Chain A
């Protein structure tokens, strides 16, 4: 920009100079031609031609006059005749030979006249040159010839007049033109000079203004720099200090007058950085990379005049000046800030460390508490099977209730600390929401019925059942919310709704809403309901309450799944918890037909228990024996491999962490060996229920996972799933034992009411099925699943199985098999209904 303005000025100046030169040379040229013209006018190379021509006539007349005046015989007169002739002759000879008259020969009149005069001269010369008597005798002839020639001489003088006049005119007008041109050129030159003067004046004014502005700017900049709170140091390319403001004096403890002109490096750069500083300056001077200049804020160490080092934050920019490149640095002493940051970071690190320590402590303690607790509960369970009187049984039941609660609390704390330590990892597996939610409803329906509360679920809008999600996490969340809803609702209803928003082909926002008509949540509690250790202040029975960790864990789970949770509530009117998750949709996955879970008769199995903990081992042994199985025990993986080599087992329960060889290695050995148990089902026994690790166990060749503490039901389920030959159940379509239990728990009236509800629900399904055209199979599956859950409550195992068969067929999308399974539904229901 500066350079282009310079260039522009130079070009303009060059134009002006060129123009002036052009005008000057034009004027010079014109002046030269004027001078030449003047000289031509003044120096008559032409002589006075007209005078000469008229003179020739005069001389001819004088000759003629002398002839007439000559006395015959007078020698003097004859001499005069000769002289006059000679003079005339010489004049004519001049006209003939002189260059100036040559041009006249082009005039025909003139040349003819000259020719006749020449003839006259040639005729007369012999008479003139003769002696006096001869001349005397010839005088009359000469006189006669002279009279004849007079006209020719006259013509000679006049003929050229016109052409001379014309050429004189032309010369005059040429001269006049030259003068006019000269005048014009002079005027133009004046104009050009005037323009130049104007321009120069303008430039001068501009320059003056610029200088003034520059001076003002400089003064202003100086003021700014001097009053700046940041230190400002200006240095040149050699690193010599050019300016050092008051703040810089303060920061570095140098007086400006002492440091101006000195080298920057040794004054403010710490000794250990001098080399880097010098290298940087050299690099920049060579046009290399700039690591500090123009890089914005940079934090470096600086040196005070007293030698102390302190941290500074600085920004350096370079600028081009007439004296070369300069560097302007703005610096700030950030000792205080750095110290504060350091203190803050230390405090934070300490806090984090303490928190982590706390979490670790919690985890360890929970583990340590849970292991003996498992033993306690296991033995309590075994104690129940022994012969006891009614009082002992009540005490044991009380102990079991307290033990379960304690275990639940320990598990909660463990879960919580696990999330906090960051061990939560979410899986994405295809799952069907309909049976999933149904199973949750099923699990809570007993409790709900106890509280005389109805529980139901449904889709709002069109259902999207198949999604990718972590079933364990989702189950934990929903189970917690539904469990709370049921827990806090008496004589009301709990409803679970599923809904999607912002649905695309790939994904949607799934809203799981759990509403109840229970006691509600007070406003002051609502705000912190998802905090840890929050419990409702009113607990109207012993079963309500807890550690207050449940919703805290739910919140952690939801956020680990990338979702949000919120609550709407009115005290005494009910609460609605809403979980919002963005889930990917997926295609239906056909599952293997699940085996019925109802307790079925199983043949006696030979089970190998691999467990290093004595008590856990004893619990498992007793549970298996009580179910009629035989057991063998080893206490480490290596022993398990050895045993499996010798004996045949129907099932192996394998602890994971053991001395000598862990459960996973043992499993791999057994599976890869050619022993008799290479195909035997192996089930992991673990306290570590992490989804990822469970998958790893399965990859090792295990067939299932049992989470410690071992429960009788879970053990039974595993045995049935993996080992037992499933036999068709004998006897009643409705298991009377279960039914009676229900009736006992609920009371006859409540049971009757629920049973009627169940029957009408089923009848409704059947009438719907009669008109259904099997277009919406997922919907069919969901309806069957829902009623299957209810059937389970009433112990209607046959009917439940039939419903599950329909559900599975519907889920697999095979219309033919749906039709055939549907066919079996009616007859089973008829039988079931009769037994309810």
Chain B
């Protein structure tokens, strides 16, 4: 019964979030330094996020090891599916770009609950550029072997500052 109801519950919560975000976006604009600019096939072009705006979205915490760090790391950020929901993106591919113009393609299908997040905090501290910040796309590598492939590693772009949504 419960399992049967779960999709409806999630659907309900998402629709609530959508409603609130839509109202936040329509009323809120970046006040601090822009950390992320989303362009392409989105409702509002371009959408500019500062750190506060990202932090205002529902946060997700991933505790995992990575091949680039040593020991367990606690990443906090906004789940990619949450962000894309907020942006109204349901399909296509994301071209994620770093500050040095390094670009990777992330399919929208990657954005699932329990999937990747755009992390803004590592071990409870915001990340400097030297620490691969301020934004880092992190997958929950430890949760599944699926997330330990070369493709996933290549999509784990750090020093992220732009996303272009393409069809």
Contact = CB atoms under 8 A, between A and B. Distances in A.
Given A87-B100, A97-B69, 13 more contacts: A39-B145, A43-B145, A46-B67, A47-B150, A48-B154, A83-B99, A90-B158, A93-B130, A94-B132, A97-B68, A98-B67, A99-B70, A100-B67
Interface in A70-108: 83-84, 86-87, 89-90, 93-94, 97-100
A532 interface: no
A573 B113 CA distance: 148
Interface string B124-143: 00001111100000000000
Given A43-B145, A87-B159, A98-B68, A48 B128 contact: no
Contacts of A83: 99-100, 129
Contacts of B145: 39, 43
30 contacts: A42-B149, A43-B149, A45-B67, A45-B148, A46-B67, A47-B68, A47-B150, A47-B153, A47-B154, A48-B154, A55-B102, A59-B100, A83-B100, A86-B128, A86-B130, A87-B98, A87-B100, A87-B129, A87-B159, A89-B129, A89-B130, A90-B129, A90-B132, A90-B158, A90-B159, A97-B70, A98-B67, A98-B70, A99-B67, A100-B67
Contacts of B69: 97-98
A44 interface: yes
A48 B154 CA distance: 8
A62 interface: yes
B45 to A, nearest CB: 25
Contacts of A39: 145
A42 B145 CA distance: 11
B149 A47 contact: no
A89 B67 CA distance: 17
Interface of A: 39, 42-48, 55, 59, 62, 83-84, 86-87, 89-90, 93-94, 97-100
A86 B127 CA distance: 12
Contacts of B130: 86, 89-90, 93
Contacts of A98: 66-70
A155 to B, nearest CB: 22
A294 B130 CA distance: 105
Per DSSP, chain B at the interface is: loop
Contact of A44 (B68, B102, B128, B150): B150
Nearest to A87: B100
Contacts of B159: 87, 90
**Residue with the highest number of chain A CB atoms closer than 10 Å, among B68, B145, B159:** B68
A755 B118 CA distance: 172
Contact of A43 (B68, B99, B150): B150
Nearest to A96: B70
A47 B139 CA distance: 14
B129 A44 contact: no
A48 B150 contact: yes
B128 A94 contact: no
B100 A44 contact: no
A45 B148 CA distance: 7
Contacts of A45: 67, 148
A230 B145 CA distance: 85
Going nearest first, the 10 A-B pairs with the smallest beta carbon separation are A44-B150, A86-B129, A98-B68, A43-B149, A89-B130, A47-B153, A87-B100, A86-B130, A94-B68, A100-B67
A819 to B, nearest CB: 139
Contacts of A86: 128-130
A86 B134 CA distance: 11
Contacts of A87: 98-100, 129, 159
A204 B64 CA distance: 61
A508 B100 CA distance: 140
B150 A42 contact: yes
Contacts of A59: 100
Contacts of A84: 100
Interface string B82-116: 00000000000000001110100000000000000
Nearest to B141: A45
Interface in B9-24: none
